[in-house]
Amino acid sequence: MIRYRNWLDAWRRDRRGVALMEFALSLPVILPIGLYAVELSNFGLQQLRLSQATLTLSDNISRVGVDTTMATQQLREVDVNEVIEGLRRQTENFRLTTNGRVTISSLETKNGTQWIHWQRCVGLKRGAGYDSSYGREGDGGAAGTSFHGMGNPAQPVTAPEGAAVIFVEINYDYQPLISPYFLGSRKLQQTASYIVRDNRELAVGVTDPAPRADERMTCDRYTT
């Protein structure tokens, strides 16, 4: 009996394994919180990367073109395709064109109203929420039109008379780093707009002289 009591007293005083036991008991609470924090950080990072890609694309399209003998600049299909290829490379780590849809619009004026002269698109996603939420090629340009610009209807982006604004909209399905359990299925949207800097020949839109483009990224196509 004495030996048993001595063993019981020694067992009560033995603190080995307490930390491991506490860790095992707290792990089911701490682990999900930690994983949620990691997933939330990844969500914010993808938002930032998507915003940067949208701004870069709009800025680049507003700058590119080839100079003409008339001291003006023409935007060619090959120029648009090269900028889109740059977008693919910039966003290849989260596969933007596979998991989203990109719409580039040239917002101009016609008959004193706002007008979408042309659009170019890339990405496999289609339908409501992926195709442009703010207008299609040819919208506006007539008296009495209900089209007043692109973006937030309360404060739409508008093009000044005789100039163009490149408006880019990207819709993207968020790709979770760990599991969709933490944030669910989410669609990210980013928009950006830049006014065209150079004296671009707006009347001709996007031209396709030699060397001709291998493909025209019109919005009836859904490709990566």
* pLDDT band per the 50, 70, 90 thresholds, residue 23: low
Reported confidence tier of residue 5, pLDDT bands at 50, 70, 90: low
Structure confidence by residue, pLDDT tens digits, 47-105: 999 999 999 999 999 999 888 877 889 999 999 999 999 999 999 999 999 999 999 99
Question: Pairing between strand 113-122 and 165-173?
Answer: unpaired
Residue 170 CB: number of other CB atoms within 10 A? Answer: 26
Confidence at 210, pLDDT banded by 50, 70, 90: confident
110 in helix, strand or coil?
strand
Look up residue 162 and give its two tokens. 């005789």
What pTM, to 2 d.p., does this model score? 0.87
Going from the C-alpha of 217 to that of each of 4, 33, 58, 74, 115, the distances in angstroms are: 85, 44, 16, 17, 20
Average pLDDT over residues 159-174: 96
Banded model confidence at residue 33, pLDDT cuts 50, 70, 90: confident
Which conformational region is residue 187 in: left (phi greater than 0), alpha (psi within -120 to 50 degrees), or beta?
beta
